[in-house]
Structures are given as structure tokens and as C-alpha cells.
Amino acid sequence: MTLRALVLLSACLGLALPAAAQTQPPAAKASAWKAPRNVWGHPDLSGVWTNATITRLERDPRFGDRLVLSEAEARQIEGVTARAMDAAGRPTDQKTGVDDLPTCGDGSSGPACGYNAFWVAPGTKVIRIGGEARSSILVEPKNGRLPLSAAALARQRAAFGNGRLGNFDGPERRPLGERCLVGFGSTSGPPMLPVLYNNHYQIAQTGDEVMIQIEMVHDTRIIRLNSTHKPASVRQWMGDSIGRWEGDTLVVETANFRRDQTFRGATENMRVIERFTRISPQQIKYTFEVIDPATFTEPVKGEQAFNASSEMVYEYACHEGNYALHGILAGAREEERQGREMEGNRGAVKEEGAE
């Protein structure tokens, strides 16, 4: 089974993809356990954590407004995921050519399918927080779906249409992850969401700052404690994050986003409020709220589990191995040279085979 076939299967189940075993132990109740303090007297969040999970951001409509799954439902979902991953990991007939591989979930085939199952590691378990199995990362709205405004949908359609024109002109037209600038899928955030692989985060603390190193693309967030935002004219990758401690919870407010790096089509004026609370030796409860009235008609809030990991955060040498971007652009230039330019090569496009 190809990766995209797995994507389709998982989407039908309301899940993300499976991967190598990833445990998510039920957390002790906050009242029964207190986080240790570091030398600055703050709750200790340091260490390596993973948010890998097969729980999707948005809830499968079949669950309606129900956030919490029964344990039987959670085990059934995890079992389907495990069987799909097992099937995807079986050896491919060595006599099969690339162009003969099965079609992916979107109808593509062969090399257009992208990664196979060997390279992905999004997790094997649904999110469990305080022993509760979750049907979605989003907890508000109640249906666990993004409440996009009509204006936001129109903006997205316009951006998609514009993105098809000239998207092979140069690297500036390609996605940020493809250009190795930041991780794809909001893995670096904020909010920080799980993706296909590299879902590890390393947290280090001082008295004045909290650093979060993201394994994907080796992004690093620096959260300044008890500070103020930089001027709105200063817009950084991952925004401008300032934090404060409210009891055992680290509260982080982020603003000043770049227009080309926002959450699910939100505007650069969005704000994100995150809360990190260590609720057991093995788990940080991570919550977020995205505020952008120009995009969302209701509050958007989510909850995740960051689970302790004994694994290392490896260097993500994206630029060093990024041969694909050169190949994509070089292929478009070759098509133009041969006079059979494909739609999207340049801003002024012509159909392949047109006179």
C-alpha cells in the first residue's frame, strides 16, 4: 500500500498515518502530582518530548460533538492503523517498475506518490490526556471543525488559483517547507502540530527564556519571559513569542506573524495563546487558542499531549539534501526550452501542446 493510499484510509477513519510504536501513557491528575522546579524556581519542562499521534486536528464528522472516545473505540482505531501500517511495510515485488506501483489516494501513481511507509513516523496512538482518548486535537468549536468565514474561504480560493500561475518561475513560488525555511504543516507553529515524521521537540529553560527546538527542519523558537512584543513592523518566522508563568503553567502569547507563515490560511494579524502544563512525569498538556476574527467565526482552541521521549533530536539537514527543488525548477526550464511548457511554469502560461 502506498503512502497516499494510507492517507486516504486514515482520513476515512478520522485519523492521521501510523508509524513505529509510540506510547502515550495516561497522565496522573494534576492534583495528585506537582511538577519539579528548576534552579530558577519554575516548573521544569526541560527534556525531549513528542506529540506524535494518529488523532487529527479536525474531528471526523461521524463523532459529532463528542470529544472523548471510549477505550474500545480508541483500541479499534489504533488496531486499524496498525494493520494498515503492517500492510504498507510489506516488501514490494522487485520486478515491479516505478510506474507500475498502485495508485495513491488522490489518483497519482508511481513517483508522484512521494514517501512510502518506511520514511514516516506520525505515531500509532490516539491522544490521551488524563486517561481520556480524544477524537480530535480541536476542542472548540464543539464539533471539532475549523469555523472558516466566507471571506476566509474566498481568500483561500483566490490564493490557490494564484498559486497555480508561475509556481515554477523560481524558488519564491514554492512552499516554505519545500524551500527548507520552516517545517510544513505547522509543526513549528505556533500552534505546534504533529506531522508525518520528526515530531520531537527539545525544551531548554533559563530564568529569562524558554527554547523549543523542533526536529523538523531544525526550527528553534525562543520565548522571552516577562517581556513585551517587538514593533508590529518586525515580523519573524514563527512570530514573536513572549511568555509568563501562571502558577504551574507557562503561558505564551505570539503575534507579528509573517504573511507567508500562518495557521490554516489565517491572516498575519492572528494571535496565538499557548499553555504548557506538566501534568505528570511523562506528559505535558499543551493547549492553544488561535485568535483571528478575519478568518474564524468562532474561537479556535485545541489540546495535545507532549509525551516524554528517550530518543534524541537529530539534525534535519534539509538544505544539504534538497536536490528536489533544483530538479523541479530545472525540469520546468527544460520544458520551456523544448517549447512544451506545462501549466504553471510561468505567470503567463500556455497549455502543453498548444500552438
Quick one: pLDDT at residue 110?
67
Over the chain (355 residues), the average pLDDT of each successive run of 10 is 38 39 46 88 97 96 97 95 83 77 60 72 93 97 97 88 81 88 92 94 97 94 97 96 97 96 93 97 97 96 97 87 88 88 66 43
Q: What is the pLDDT of residue 6?
A: 39
Indicate the DSSP class of residue 322.
Answer: -
* pLDDT value for 102: 61
pLDDT at 29: 46
Phi-psi region of 172 (alpha: psi -120 to 50; beta: other; left: phi over 0): alpha
Alpha-helical segments (H) within the chain: 3-13, 71-88, 150-163, 323-337
Q: Which residues sit opposite 47 in a β-bridge? A: 203
Q: For residues 274 and 190, is the Cβ–Cβ distance under 8 A? A: yes
pTM of the model: 0.84
Contact 92, 2 (CB under 8 A): no
Residue 240: name the closest of 265, 200, 269, 264 by CA.
269
51, 131 contact by CB (below 8 A): no
String of DSSP letters for 134-151: ES-SEEESTT-S--B-HH
**Dist. CA 320–CA 83, nearest whole Å:** 35
Instruction: Give the pLDDT of residue 343.
Output: 74
